[in-house]
Amino acid sequence: MAGSGQQVVVVGVTKKVSPHRQSRNPVKPKRPGQALLSLSAAAMALPAFAVNQPTETEVAVKSSYYEEDPIRASEEVVVFGDPERYTIKVNQFYLLKPIGANWSLTFDYANESMSGASPWGAVADDEGNQQLIMSGASIDDSRNKVEGTVTRYLPESAWSVTLGGSREHDYRSDYLGLAWIQEYNLKNTTLAIDASYASDELTPTDASDFGRIEQADKTSRSLAISISQILSRSQVAQVGYGVTKRSGFLADPYKLRDVRPDQRLEHRVSLGYLQYFEPWGARLKAEYRYFWDSFDIKAHTTSVSLFKSLGQDWDVEPRLRWYEQSEASFFALGDRYDLPLTVAQSSDARLSSFGAWSTGFSINYTRDVMKVGLSYDRYVSEPSAGIGSPSGHRALMRYELLSLGVRFRL
């Protein structure tokens, strides 16, 4: 942490930022193993990945617009660079097709294009007031992700294999996932085991100009187990545990000073509950996750959503999410140039202590084989609402996400 009479050096970047230079897109795999999340999310999010083969072909497309609030553009907060944050457009395509009597195939494609600025570094005075050094100008970048899953269905079980990859000009990620589901107790109890492996390669742009590493690798390995139990005709509960090991270059190569351990072990325990209220045509979903890792970060995530039918064709789903985390053991509010490069430190806001509220809703219209949905979410970070003492980071995120999607079941 800054203080103790250290000499603080402000790095002024004078070289013009060229287009396609930096890829600080929050929605793309710049963070270690982010592609692994895509894999995990997609593989585990497949509605067809139940033990039963889907009976219909499903096609879905979705377009989303994401915009971050700008950082307060005062000299007190931004000492250099563009206070404007990211805007991202995402287009997604999804296909699920039953094949024969016992197989199904899923194909998933996403394209993201982004522009904006993000923090390169930070300085902090003795009172713990932080000032940010932002990237110099708006950056444009794009990412493409492709993923395919093959599922084989057996009488009371199913297994699947997923292969995927994502590409952008300075980042490559390839991943493999295996999953197994087994049903017990007249299909009232379901056990699911997922294993995945991701291999990423970073080739930061303008590496020699800015003294960055020219090439680095990292790998992620994950294992998760979950049990879902039907409690009654209208209630389901789920409990799960997952572990992830990340190895290799885990730092952010675009930060002015960011040194992280070359291993990270993460754990998560999750609980979920679904309840349907027949008289009202409404469904409550509640989920909780406790996360802890070898960076000393702990986090609680709680989310609640309420689904409500409005007549035969319409439905709405308001939702609420609360997140809080503690800071990493090596988090530094201001970059420490007095420390050698062998000592871990990072001023990355995502490793600081903060809390965040997210509110949103979806509204859907279903007619025959088609369903159209619009959703909106607002995410607001609160630096003082994290676990433990507040870190006081000033680049915490606030954003809006708007999506429009269409799904066909044929």
Partner 1 sequence: MTSKMKCTWLFVCLLTLAGCQAVAPWEREVLAKDEMSWTSDPLGQTLEQQVHFSKEAASGGLGSAGGGCGCN
Partner 2 sequence: MSTSIEVRTKKRIGEGWLLGKMVAFLAGALMSASVLAVEIGETAPSFTIESLNSDETVSLGDFKGKVVILDFWASWCGPCLVAMPKLSALSDALPKERAALVAVSVDTNPKRALRFMKKMGATYDSLIDPSGEVAAMYNLPGMPTTFVIDQDGKVAARLVGFKPGDEAELEREVASLYDK
254 lines the binding site for partner 1 (CB under 8 A) = no
Per-residue CA distances from 400 to 27, 61, 150 (Å)? 13, 20, 34
Give the span between the Cα atoms of 283 and 130, in whole angstroms.
44
Give the span between the Cα atoms of 344 and 340, in whole angstroms.
9
The residue (of 185 and 342) whose beta carbon lies closer to partner 2 is: 185
Q: Which does 54 bind (CB under 5 to 8 A by kind): partner 1, partner 2, none?
A: partner 2
Q: Which does 283 bind (CB under 5 to 8 A by kind): partner 1, partner 2, none?
A: partner 1
Give 220-284 as a DSSP string: EEEEEEEEEEEEETTEEEEEEEEEEEEEE--S-TTSSSEE--SEEEEEEEEEEEEEEEGGGTEEE
Identify residues 67-126 at the interface with partner 2 (CB under 8 A): 101
Q: How many residues bind partner 1 (CB under 8 A)?
A: 94
263 lines the binding site for partner 1 (CB under 8 A) = no
The residue (of 45 and 73) whose beta carbon lies closer to partner 1 is: 45
Q: Which does 397 bind (CB under 5 to 8 A by kind): partner 2, partner 1, none?
A: partner 1
341 lines the binding site for partner 2 (CB under 8 A) = no
Contact between 174 and 142 under an 8 Å Cβ cutoff? The reply is no
Give the span between the Cα atoms of 197 and 199, in whole angstroms.
7
CB of 234 to partner 2, least distance (A): 12
49 lines the binding site for partner 2 (CB under 8 A) = no
Q: Which of 3, 20, 52, 329 binds partner 2 (CB under 8 A)?
A: 52
The contact mask relative to partner 2 for 177-206 (x = CB under 8 A, - = no) is --------xxx-------------------
Look at the block and give the residue holding tokens 């060229």.
18
CB of 192 to partner 2, least distance (A): 20
Give the span between the Cα atoms of 71 and 119, in whole angstroms.
10
14 lines the binding site for partner 2 (CB under 8 A) = no
Report how far Cα 137 is from the mean position of its chain's Cα atoms: 25
Give the span between the Cα atoms of 284 and 306, in whole angstroms.
5
Span of 169-177, 205-213, 254-262, 377-385 interacting with partner 1 by CB under 8 A = 377-385
Give the span between the Cα atoms of 119 and 257, in whole angstroms.
11
Q: Which of 4, 7, 14, 55 binds partner 2 (CB under 8 A)?
A: 55
The contact mask relative to partner 1 for 299-318 (x = CB under 8 A, - = no) is x-x-----x-------x-x-
Span of 76-84, 130-138, 320-328, 336-344 interacting with partner 1 by CB under 8 A = 320-328
Give the span between the Cα atoms of 359 and 376, in whole angstroms.
8
List residues near partner 2 by CB under 8 A: 52, 54-56, 101, 185-187
